[in-house]
Amino acid sequence: MSKLVLVRHGQSEWNLANRFTGWWDVDLTAQGEAEARAAGDLLAEKGVLPTVAFTSLQTRAIRTLHFALEGCGRLWIPETKDWRLNERHYGGLTGLDKQQTRERHGDEQVHIWRRSFDVPPPELEPGSEFDLSTDPRYAGIDVPRTESLKLTIERVLPYWEETILPQLGKGETVIISAHGNSLRALVKHLSGISDEEITGLEIPTGQPIVYEFDGTQVAGERYYLKDA
Ligand SMILES: O=C(O)[C@@H](CO)OP(=O)(O)O
């Protein structure tokens, strides 16, 4: 049996400030760093020691990975960063305060933008201060102007299938440090969650989730490592 460990980054500055974040590159708070260190301590305590790591191109996920690997003595393992593990792009909502957006557009509309399967938020305006299309880290990538969960799945899953799943097939212990919605995309696929039910799934920060694999097949339900 090989293991897949999923970790959502620790609390970010904009999780704390309650702002829509998406691809915007905010850092961890002190609490977020502590959550990531605790994830590493838990990996060490439970003897789940990653041998291969994947993360996004976003600082909060990369630093979470590093704190977690440091905590279990595995900073030395190979790690791959890829934009396809980035957070879902929040389009024109990026940077806005979530509560103010609720007051302006109503709870229901904001819930649809945040959690519906296939309704993307409005597109990011060209020339917006949150436009990352000229950021050197995304050179050669067609940076989205907005993404629904469905569109996020369309870029996460091919990467999962082509690059990450074969590592599990080889018996590696894989850790993915990513984001609330890029991980919802993966969990939806791995746990066979319907388009309707996925609207209710929340992934907590800094809390390792484990799937066991038999070759390239998921073997059993996901579980929180803290409960193992
Ligand atoms: O702002 C974001 O990018 C995400 C993750 O923090 O928030 P939400 O809970 O609205 O998906």
93-96, Cβ contacts within 8 angstroms, sequence gap of 24 or more: 93/20, 93/22, 93/121, 93/122, 94/20, 94/21, 94/22, 94/23, 94/24, 94/124, 94/128, 94/130, 95/19, 95/20, 95/24, 95/129, 95/130, 96/19, 96/20
123 is catalytic: no
Interface predicted TM-score (ipTM) of this complex, two decimals: 0.95
Residue whose Cα lies nearest atom 8 of ligand 1: it is 114
pTM for the structure as a whole: 0.97
- pLDDT for 145: 97
Residue nearest to atom 9 of ligand 1 (CA): 114
Domain count, the chain: 1
- pLDDT at position 91 is 98
Distance 169 CA to ligand 1 centre (A): 31
60 in a known ligand binding site = yes
State residue 209's pLDDT score. 98
Residue 80: domain span: 2-227
Give the Å distance between the CA of 21 and the centre of ligand 1.
6
- Which ligand 1 atom sits nearest the alpha carbon of residue 98? 10
Give me the CATH number covering residue 144: 3.40.50.1240
Give the residue whose CA is nearest to atom 11 of ligand 1.
Answer: 114
Query: For the chain (length 228 residues), average pLDDT per consecutive 10?
Result: 97 98 98 98 98 98 98 98 98 97 97 95 95 96 97 98 98 98 98 96 97 96 97
Measuring from each residue's beta carbon to the nearest atom of ligand 1, which residues come in under 6 Å? 15, 20-22, 87, 90, 114, 180-181
Residue 172 has a pLDDT of 98
- Contact at 8 Å (CB) between 143 and 123? no
Ligand 1 geometric centre to CA of 73 (Å): 30
